[in-house]
Amino acid sequence: MKIFADTANVEDIRTACSWGIIDGVTTNPSLVARENRPFEEVVKEICEICPGPVSAEVVSLEAEGMIQEARKVSSWAPNIAVKIPMIKEGIKAISVLSQEGIKTNCTLCFSPNQALLAAKVGATFISPFIGRLDDIGHRGMDLVEQIAQIYDNYDFETEIIVSSVRHPQHVVEAALIGADICTIPFAVLEKMFNHPLTDVGVERFLADWNKAGLSL
């Protein structure tokens, strides 16, 4: 499973990339707004740090506006995937952008039918929002399972990005389902490394080594 960093913070992206585990980055308007920097500047810097796909979202709600914004944003770097919301106008825009060879990430997906429509118009990625479904008492991962099954049935090439991840268990479930990608907030990425038995083990090995006066 590919791992994307779900953040617009360049320091966090740099750190996560230095671990060698990051295949791409996703941002959204809320994440970019948190950085207090111009959109174009942040996106370009992220694209330089990470050679994989970097999602940057349009804000227009009409197809024509989305298409214009997408052409502009995608010209900033070759690895940009333009994020387009899962609304009628968004699907219309993705259909045009796919034909132009512009990578798209259909965002705010909450149902298998929405994912089917996005795949039909050639979206590069679909982003089901798992955590937000869990928040309202649904089982977000059921949606990922259904999308995976539908895409498999018809050999759709659209890749599933498990999004709105809240904790490490979401990542495990995404990987067990066989999702193509999981986009993970920095705080969750850090938690994935941790296990108390690892810490105890490292401490004990070192203590025994030092007690015996060994050296390397």
Active site residues: 83
As measured in angstroms, the least distance from the Cβ of 47 to ligand E4P is 16
Question: 59 or 195: whose CB is closer to ligand E4P?
Answer: 59
Question: 133 or 148: whose CB is closer to ligand E4P?
Answer: 133
As measured in angstroms, the least distance from the Cβ of 153 to ligand E4P is 25
Q: Which of 49, 17, 15, 46 is nearest to 31 (CA)?
A: 46
Strand partners for 149: none
Residue 187 contacts residue 170 (beta carbons within 8 Å): no
Residue nearest ligand E4P, Cβ-based: 164
Residue 25 contacts residue 37 (beta carbons within 8 Å): no
Give me the residues that bind ligand E4P (CB under 6 A), please.
Answer: 6, 26, 28, 107, 127, 129, 131-132, 163-164, 183
Question: 124 or 164: whose CB is closer to ligand E4P?
Answer: 164
As measured in angstroms, the least distance from the Cβ of 95 to ligand E4P is 21
As measured in angstroms, the least distance from the Cβ of 206 to ligand E4P is 38
Cβ burial 72-90 (10 Å sphere, 16+ → b, else e): ebbebbebbbbbbbbbebb
Greatest CA span in the chain, whole angstroms? 72
From CA 11, how far away is CA 185, in angstroms rounded? 13
Question: 129 or 156: whose CB is closer to ligand E4P?
Answer: 129
